[in-house]
Amino acid sequence: MNKTIQVQDLGTRDYKETWDFQEELFKEILDTKIKNRREDAGLETANHFLFVEHPHVYTLGKSGDMSNLLLDETQLAAKGATFYKINRGGDITYHGPGQIVGYPILDLENFFTDIHKYLRLLEEMIILTLAEYGLKATRSEGETGVWLDVGTPFARKICAMGVRASRWVTMHGFALNVNADLGYFDNIIPCGIRGKAVTSLNVELGKVKVDEAEVKEKLLRHFKTLFEAELELNT
């Protein structure tokens, strides 16, 4: 079991280009697993963790409702945004500048074979990171992701999640609003959930800008502990 995870920060990169890159890594792991089963090759499967920031983009998951996008093609272009239907779970979400997006592409057979546990640990990574900034973040029952003030009229989502898994290999992941322009969320019904607000770390802390490199360092530290992994940082 290979518990080493290759960590790569892609910087700012187009959504489709990054999706294609994820698919390449995902397929490499699947191909290795298939070879191991057919030929008893005993090859180790790789694990990856990608950080990225996307230009303005809306993505709709497999079970998503197109009516949750409140813009037509002309309006999307005017906003400088793109739109993709993709192969993760969940409904619609937004990615853009000031948001830390993380894509763990893991062979869960190197760690544990439980998708529910995987999602809960990703949420826990976010919750522990936000606690370091003095925020009490929690889960909202039946709604994947991380929230503030759950159970009150002021409930607001700070981190969205949506994953795909096949043969215990994961892709897609989480999007944590750190310095995000929240106005872009007004163009969708986020995750298909009406009447609940979205927030960003800088807004919660009353800061113009939060150090995103510092947030990433904290996320990785908690990820490493929760998954009992070794991390290798690739430049």
Please identify every residue annotated as catalytic.
191
- Encoding tokens for residue 106? 């893991």
Residue 94 among known ligand-binding residues: yes
**Cβ neighbours of 99 (radius 10 Å):** 25
* Residue 162, annotated as binding a ligand: yes
- Sequence-distant (6+) residues with CB within 8 A of 224 are 230, 231
Q: Is 42 annotated as a binding residue?
A: no
Annotated binding-site residue? 161 = yes
The reply to whether 222 sits in an annotated binding site is no
* Residue 96, marked binder: no
**Residue whose token pair is 């502990």:** 225
38 marked as binding residue: no
- Say if residues 163 and 171 touch (Cβ distance below 8 Å): yes
Burial 5-30 (b: 16+ CB within 10 A, else e): bebbeeeebebeebbebbeebbeebb
- Confirm or deny that 13 is annotated as ligand binding: no
- Tell me whether residue 118 is annotated as binding: no
Q: Is 174 annotated as a binding residue?
A: yes
Report whether 185 belongs to an annotated binding site: no
Q: Under a CB-based contact definition with an 8 Å cutoff, are residues 159 and 145 in contact? A: yes
**CB-based contact 81:58 (threshold 8 Å):** yes
Strand partners, 58: 83, 94
Is 89 annotated as a binding-site member?
yes
Question: Distance of CA 235 to CAs 9, 35, 44, 100, 215, Å?
Answer: 7, 29, 22, 17, 18
- Residue positions in the annotated binding site for substrate? 88-95, 160-162, 173-175
- Residue positions in the annotated binding site? 88-95, 160-162, 173-175
